[in-house]
Structure 1
Amino acid sequence: MAALLDESFATLARELPEAHARMCARLAGRTVRIEVDGEIFAAVFEGAAARVRRLGTEEDAPADASITASRRAIRDVLEARRSLADAVLADEVEAVAPVDSLVEVLSGLSTYVHGAVRCPSFPRLLERFQALLAGDEEA
């Protein structure tokens, strides 16, 4: 998941640099700790750059917000089976941060998604994400 998110940031920067710049400006100076099915990483926004850094299972990096979700919950939101709000209310996605940080992270996420849907390479990234999920379901 971490590698796929990092690749998606690079893809957004390459294919729609203005959307990448807006996302980075919105999230500048912030770190978002993300846990997906036990994989822990951080999305770090420094200046005009967005990068992903893997974290160890015991590493507790300082973060402005923390998000925990399953791949399945992410898929359901991406495929519009469930809204992000519904996933949070159902405890399928957990977001922890002061309210002002949550608002900024949500705004940055919205900027990311608005850019992603306009990038020609994102459907292939989504297919790879779905393949990851399918592999989990087969195991």
Structure 2
Amino acid sequence: MLIREIMTEEVETVSPEATAEEAFRLIYEGDFRHLPVVSAGNELLGILSERDLREQVLPALLEMELPEAREEAMARSVSELMQGDTLTVHPDDDVDQAIELMLEHRVGAVPVVHPDTGELMGIVSYVDVLRAARELF
């Protein structure tokens, strides 16, 4: 089975200049856990996960006595928070490759990029893999 057969093509993205506050809003209102970071030309620059936000921003938000720390945390740019060295797959790769990457690196999703241009084409998550597996049984 190929990645193109199970990947999610309609993916919410964010620019590297966006703030942590904007990223929080996108992730929680969209009810997903991974937010690809793309250039104006849709080239994948990195990925920001719900976990990244929790670990890097949430501690400052919980600091009740320092409101300026909360404001600074929410104003941080996505480029400061994202994982820049992002694992990727191509649409014609086998699904097994995405599964191995997710297991080996303990990530829940892998962006799908065009093999020649690096342009974001979609994302494959563990949920996509489980949906495909369900259809096989």
| TM-score after normalising by structure 2 | 0.23
| TM-score after normalising by structure 1 | 0.23
Say which structure, 1 or 2, has more relative contact order (CA 8 Å, 6+ apart): 2
Over alpha carbons, which structure has the higher Rg? 2
The structure with more helix, counted as a fraction of residues: 1
The structure with more strand, counted as a fraction of residues: 1
